[in-house]
Amino acid sequence: MELVLFSVTAIVALIGAVAMLISKNAVHSALFLLLNFGAIAVLYLLLQAPFLFAVQLIVYAGAIIVLFLFVVMLLGAERDEDEASNLRWQTPVALVMAALLVGEVIYLLMTPATQTVGEQAQSFASPTQIAQSLFSTHLFPFEVAAFVLLTALIGVVTLHQRRS
């Protein structure tokens, strides 16, 4: 049952990613990316990470995809790479390098796998436990993350200020 769920979700995620890669229209690409993010969120649920499931849906599927769609439609840049690239040799080189990467992964996965992912513990990562760890052990990175977000906010506002 779990394996079936994993297989279906993995196939959906891969289809979303490949369709994002080959889709000519940037809006379609963003929507396929949304499909991929949703599938990955389901995988988080399978991996017993309910908190990250919610964060994935809110931040990635909600905020980031909306931001992408907003910018694509604002710029009207749906089809902005029609003219032929002047670096044609890049395509075969990129495909060869991707094939090498996949080959390495397959080679690594050929080694006998003993570990499995499953339901050893019921809830090792409930939102309560994540919060306890986040606000005690990882309090300093948490504050730094807040600072990073503030910096991004100030940066965006500064970039778009009209120079008088």
Partner 1 sequence: MIPTAMYIGLSALLFTIGVLGVLLRRSALMVFMSVELMLNSANLALVTFANQWQSVDAQIMVFFVITVAAAEVAVGLALLVMIFRQKRTTNIDTMTSLKG
Q: Please, which of residues 108-147 interact with partner 1 by CB under 8 A?
A: 109, 113, 115-118, 120-121, 124-125, 129-130, 133-134, 137-138, 141, 145
35 makes contact with partner 1 (CB under 8 A): no
73 makes contact with partner 1 (CB under 8 A): no
Cα–Cα dist 104/144, whole Å: 36
Tell which one of 35, 47, 54, 57 touches partner 1 (CB under 8 A).
Answer: 47
Whole-number minimum distance, CB 84 to partner 1, in Å? 10
38 makes contact with partner 1 (CB under 8 A): no
**Pick 87 or 164: Cβ nearer partner 1:** 87
DSSP state of 160: T
Closest to 105 (Cα-Cα) out of 94, 115, 116, 113: 113
Q: Total binding residues for partner 1 by CB under 8 A?
A: 82
Letter for the amino acid at 75?
L
Q: What would the x/- binding string for partner 1 be over residues 83 to 102, using CB under 8 A?
A: x-xxx--xx-xxx-xx--xx
Phi-psi region of 161 (alpha: psi -120 to 50; beta: other; left: phi over 0): beta
List Cα–Cα distances, 35 to 55, 68, 70, 78, in angstroms.
16, 14, 17, 19
